[in-house]
């Protein structure tokens, strides 16, 4: 299989199901941002962190391929012409969201209460988490805009929302584990 197909040379690309759209279409921007997020999560997973977090991050990466498939599917083609068969698109489930919530609860139990916003940083690994969180928020915003015009399964949006929360809590937990300084944001009073 060749990597290059030359079919996108005129600024279009094919969705799952064959429909061609411009490469700047919001659907492409949505799943492209999920792909970017997946790469950053791989960067976090490659750091010297607890193997449990590496395992969870690997599962998240696999689910992000599912999110990407959902976003890359033309809703007109999601149901085949006979109205019964669907394209073989995996879906995000409530259980996938629950896993993230359980992971966050477990990490939060080991952390001091959060009393202020925190400045991203303190350790390179923590910074990678914050970058991934920001990319996840962008993916969520794009997916939300797409959802308004071309709805898809709502668990996909919920998953992106919960994932950004997970990445924030993971950043805090890794700050704790790596003994990095978590700097609180305290607004300066005008003099």
CA-only gyration radius of the chain, Å = 19
156: pLDDT strictly greater than 90: yes
pLDDT of residue 116: 83
Angle between helices 154-177 and 124-149 in degrees, nearest 10? 170
Residue 171, pLDDT score: 97
Where is 95: in which H helix or E strand? helix 94-109
Q: Which CATH class is domain 19-77+88-108+116-177?
A: mainly alpha
Would you state the pLDDT for residue 132? Answer: 98
Least confident of 27-41, 42-56, 76-90, 168-182: 76-90
Q: How many CA atoms lie within 13 A of 26 on its CB side?
A: 13
Across the range 114-119, mean pLDDT stands at: 84
User: What are the two backbone dihedrals, phi and then psi, of residue 86, each rounded to the nearest 5 degrees?
Assistant: -115, 155
Is residue 22 within 8 Å of 12, Cβ to Cβ? yes
In degrees to the nearest 10, what's the CA dihedral of 99, 102, 104, 105?
170
Confidence grade of residue 80 (pLDDT, cut at 50, 70, 90): very low
pLDDT at position 179: 92
CA 154 – CA 23 distance, rounded (Å): 24
- The residues, ordered by sequence, that sit 6+ positions from 67 with a Cβ below 8 Å of its Cβ are 31, 34, 92, 156, 159, 160
Average pLDDT score over residue span 129-157: 96
């Amino acid at each position: 299989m060749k990597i290059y197909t030359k079919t996108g040379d005129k600024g279009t690309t094919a969705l799952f199901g064959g429909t061609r759209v411009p490469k700047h279409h919001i659907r492409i921007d949505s799943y492209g941002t999920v792909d970017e997020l997946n790469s950053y999560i791989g960067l976090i997973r490659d750091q010297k962190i607890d193997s449990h977090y590496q395992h969870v991050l690997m599962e998240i990466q696999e689910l992000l391929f599912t999110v990407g498939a959902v976003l890359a599917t033309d809703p007109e083609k999601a149901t085949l012409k006979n109205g019964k068969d669907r394209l073989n698109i995996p879906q995000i489930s409530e259980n996938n969201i629950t896993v993230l919530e359980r992971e966050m609860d477990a990490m939060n139990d080991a952390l001091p209460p959060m009393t202020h916003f925190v400045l991203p940083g303190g350790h390179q690994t923590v910074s990678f988490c914050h970058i991934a969180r920001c990319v996840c928020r962008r993916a969520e915003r794009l997916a939300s805009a797409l959802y308004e015009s071309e709805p898809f399964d709502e668990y996909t949006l919920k998953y992106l929302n919960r994932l950004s929360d997970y990445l924030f809590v993971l950043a805090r937990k890794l700050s704790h584990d790596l003994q990095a300084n978590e700097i609180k944001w305290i607004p300066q009073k005008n003099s």
